[in-house]
Every structure is written in structure tokens, then in C-alpha cells.
Amino acid sequence: MTENQYQRANKMVLSTVLIVFGYIALTVLAAIGISKGQHAGKMIVEVITAVVVIMVSVIAYITKKKTRTCELILSICIAVGYVIIILLNSVAGVWTYGIPLIISVIVYLNKRLMYCANGVVIAANIVRLMRDFDSRNSDLLTSRILAILVMILIAIISINIADILIKYFTENVFQIQETSAKKNELIDETEKTFGEVGSTVDNLMSGIHIAEQSINKILESTSVIADNISHLSATGEEIAAASAEGIKVSDSTVESMKECKVILNNIYELANELKASVEE
């Protein structure tokens, strides 16, 4: 059990101790006043026992409420107080004080403690039966035997309840552990997924960086191409100007060739006329 669980369990048992032994102390004090001194010694011991049990239980809870030590002290106080009360008190129904005390210690989910507590209660009632045994008093004998049988029945039921609760508690712990393991697996898978996503993002950023560098290189190349185009444009203008000049020269050459042709034709015609004159 955890510290908080011990604190809640010890608080519940302490409440039962205060109620049961406080009631015992008050009823016995009232009985002392009514009895006019009869059995006053036993009654005073009962009151002192109840007060001591309450005081020790309260001190144990205040100082050790979050530990198993408080559980043991409370259990011992209950056992000792019950044995003293049941052996000193002659009231027929005093054995019933053990029922709430037995039920209260179930909260500790401790089967060994349940065996011990029920064993003490049953043993105390057996001792009481043996002490008050009187075959001639059938009513008293029946009452004592009935008390023992009821306490045995309560012991069986309380131990079975404690056993079932312990199993439930164990199963719940196991389920919590399984759920925790699944959560841890989910966390690991999530971390792995985020790691893969992070790696992908890193690769993407690297690709973007490479693309950025490529774009920068393309821009630089574009600038160079633009410069070259500008140079080519200037050179093209020069070529165009030279070509225009060449065309002009060609035109002049063609005109000169035409004039040469005319002169040659004239020379040819004169030569033919000269030949005709000689032949005549």
C-alpha cells in the first residue's frame, strides 16, 4: 500500500476505535453510577483500558499515519482492548463489539492480519465460555456458544471478503501496469514517428537549400546570359551596319559591272563593223 492508502485506511480504523471504545467507556461509566459500587474495580479497569486504547491509537495515527507501523499499533490496541473488555465485562452481548473491529481491519487488505484478528476474537470468546461454563445455566451456555458460532461465521465471511478485495486490487494493479506499458509503447512509437518526421523535414530543408543554391546559380547564369545577350546585341548592330555598308559596296560594284558590260558590247559592235568593212 502507498502512504496515502495507509493514511486513509488508518483513519478509517481509528474512527472505528474511537466510536467502539468511546461507547464502551461511556456505557461502563454510566454502569458504575447505576451499580452503586458493585464490580466497580472491573468497570474502572474497563474504562481505563478503553481510554488507553483510544489515546495510543490517536498518538499512533498522528505520528505514523502514513506507515504500516500505525496499522500494527492500531491492530494490537484493538486486540488487547477487546480481550480485556470481553473477559472483564459480564454483559451477554459484549462479544458484539468485535464485529465492527473485525470489519474495519478489512481495509488493510492483509489476510494474515485477518486470520490473527479473527483468531484473537474467537479465542477470547472461547476463554470466556470456559470461564463462565455452567451446565446448569443453559441460557448462559447457549449465549456463549452462539457468540462463538457467530464470530466463526464472521471470520469466514471477513476473510473471504478480504481475499476477494485483494484479488480485485491485484487485478487492477495488473491492468494499470498493462495500460501503462501500452502508453509507454505508444509514446515510443510517437517519438519514433516524430523522429522520422524530423528526419524527413531535415531532408526537405536540405533539398530546399540545394534548390535555393541551384536557383541562385541559375540567376547568376541568367545574368551572364543577359550580359552576353547585351554584348551580342551590340555586336549584331555592328554586323548589321557592316552588312549595310557591304550592300552599298555590292550595289556600286554591280553598277560598275553593268557599265563595263555596256562598254564591252560597244567594243564588240565596233569590232564587227570593222570586220565587215574589211571584207567588203
Centre a 10 Å sphere on the Cβ of residue 195 and count the other Cβ atoms it contains. 10
pLDDT one-digit tens code per residue, 123-135:
999 998 888 777 6
Mean of pLDDT over the chain:
79
Q: Measured between alpha carbons, how far is 185 from 132 in angstroms, rounded to an integer?
A: 67
Q: Measured between alpha carbons, how far is 62 from 172 in angstroms, rounded to an integer?
A: 30
Residue by residue, DSSP assigns 163-175 as HHHHHHHHHHHHH
Query: Once rounded to an integer, what is the mean pLDDT over residues 141-163?
Result: 89
pLDDT one-digit tens code per residue, 72-113:
999 999 999 999 999 888 788 888 888 888 888 888 888 888
DSSP state at residue 67: S
68-98 as b/e: b if 16+ CB within 10 A? eebbebbbbbbbebbbbbbbbbeeeebbebb
pLDDT one-digit tens code per residue, 3-53:
888 899 999 999 999 999 999 999 988 888 777 666 778 889 999 999 999
Whether this model's pTM surpasses 0.75: no
Beta carbons within 8 Å of 96's beta carbon, 6+ residues apart: none
Residue 40's Cα: distance from chain center in Å?
Answer: 61
3-state secondary structure of 18: helix
Residue by residue, DSSP assigns 89-103 as ---GGGGGGHHHHHH
